[in-house]
Structure 1
Amino acid sequence: MAELRRSAEETHPDEARLWTEVVATARRTVADGLVVGTSGNVSARIGDVVLVTPSGVPYDRLTPGDITGVDLTGRQVLGTPVPTSELPMHLAVYRTTDARAVVHTHAVHATAVSTLVPELPAVHYMTGALGGPVRVAPYATYGTDELAENMLGALAGRSGCLLQNHGTITYGATLDQAYDRTAQLEWMCRLWLTASSVPGLTPSLLTEAQLAEAGERLKGYGQRR
């Protein structure tokens, strides 16, 4: 017998706390200019439930009563709002990686780069934080299984990729980490576009060995508890 969908009033305390973080992260993507309006989406996993922003609802209007949760098959198990149309991408990430959070944006510079090259040139060592040179997933209509499959190919061995003529997607162990990777990816795209626009000059790129070394050092970056 299928589990009944729980209402917002039946949300577990940990789910409620995580939902607050999901909403805060979604609002941050707008405040930082990574999305416009209701474009982009954010999700986080707790157990076998994925909390995800609903479709077409402005982030500044989201409340605790708008909590939206699905299981790993996409069946809605929490709340009543319709989940984001990009749910297939989010679920594909959770089913194939150890991700606990996913951020998808339509960031301007990253989207511009996705229309120009099949891979973001390695102009900065933060490329190592995403697992290596960031690939561009071939274009497919938004919200489709085809797009999710294309994304998985580009994500192999990476924690982020560009989506051709569309935007970005990154994941992490926390919402903060997933968001930081999104912000770093947008910054690197802006950096490359800026450097490559200088007439007569070509940006220097990092080697695989340099990226690998940076990636190892970045694993220990930050405060240790």
Structure 2
Amino acid sequence: MNDRPRDEHRTARSRKATDEEADAWRDLVATARRTAADGLVVGTSGNVSVRVGDTVLVTPSGVPYDRLTPDDVTGVDLDGRQMLGTLVPTSELPLHLAVYRTTGAGAVVHTHAVHATAVSTLVPELPLIHYMAAALGGPVRVAPYAPYGTEELAGNMLRALAGRTGCLLQNHGTVTCGATLDQALDRTAQLEWMCRVWLTASSVPGLTPSLLTPGQLAEVQERMRDYGRRH
């Protein structure tokens, strides 16, 4: 969700965005619109952020992505104090800030993707249905349920993300992070696709999907270390 009571919103004196922040905001808005176009969110659910130095640009609360403009840039510092804009940051701000405080991530994408959310209600970890789990650091864990926008949820998420770049939030959705917005969004799409594959395979009566072993996944992870490198 993106609804945030205004009395919980901590503000500081707003300043003008730098050129780098303005460019990053345009990329953030484009990424947020892609989550909607790709069916990963509905309405104003889900949120996106990107870090520029010590400032975190984040989608605001309750504003449809197609209505965001360059003048709507919204940014906070790592303590959650608003530094840019007047729109209220997403209610999931604690979740985003927790990632930036504890990892070297440059971007975070949170969605309510249908298949991933469905899987989050069924298992404590996405079964190893496909080797692309290696691209997320290993088996994708499900963070135990906690109310949206809380420090409890942020803590549960961090434990599920340990050693990973993506996780599921029980009865809620997905969180992925990356060095860039494109990388974080790609990981979200990969996670949703794997969840869809597992649900589809699991729905065939009388048959059980074959799964990869931890050893097979480790082999893929080793191969991926050199993926895309020039010889």
TM-score normalised by L of structure 2? 0.93
Gaps spanning 5+ residues in structure 2: where?
A: 1-10
Aligned to 2:202: 196
Q: Distance in 1 between matches of 2:88 and 2:167?
A: 26
Whole-Å Cα distance in 2 between the matches of residues 182 and 217 of structure 1? Answer: 22
Residue 89 of structure 2 is aligned to residue 77 of structure 1: no
CA 14–58 in structure 1, closer or farther in 2 if over 3 Å, else same: same
| Partner SS state of residue 216, structure 1 | helix
- Counterpart in 1 of 2:126? 120
Q: Which amino acid aligns with 1:75?
A: R
In the alignment, structure 1 residue 14 sits paired with structure 2 residue 20? yes
Instruction: Name the structure 2 match of 1:102.
Output: 108
Q: Distance in 2 between matches of 1:220 and 1:149?
A: 33
Give ranges in structure 1 of 5+ residues lacking alignment.
none
1:222 offset after TM fit, Å?
A: 3.5
Match of 2:58 among 52, 61, 64: 52
Count of matched residue pairs: 221
Q: What secondary structure, in the 3-state scheme, does the structure 1 residue paired with 2:221 have?
A: helix
Q: How does 1:32-181 map to 2 (within 5 A)?
A: 32-181=38-187
C-alpha deviation, 1:223, in angstroms: 6.4
1:51-78 Cα offsets, whole Å, 9 max, x none, are 0000000000000111000000101111
Asked whether the equivalents of residues 117 and 170 of structure 2 are also in contact (C-alpha less than 8 Å), the reply is yes
* Aligned counterpart, 1:4: 13
What secondary structure is seen at the aligned counterpart in 2 of 1:25? helix
Taking only the aligned residue pairs, the percentage that are identical comes to 79
**Counterpart of 2:213 in structure 1: which amino acid?**
T
Give the SS at the match of 1:42: strand
Dislocated runs of 4+, deviation >3 Å? none
Q: CA RMSD in A?
A: 1.5
Rounded to whole Å, the distance in 2 between the matches of 1:180 and 1:220 is 19
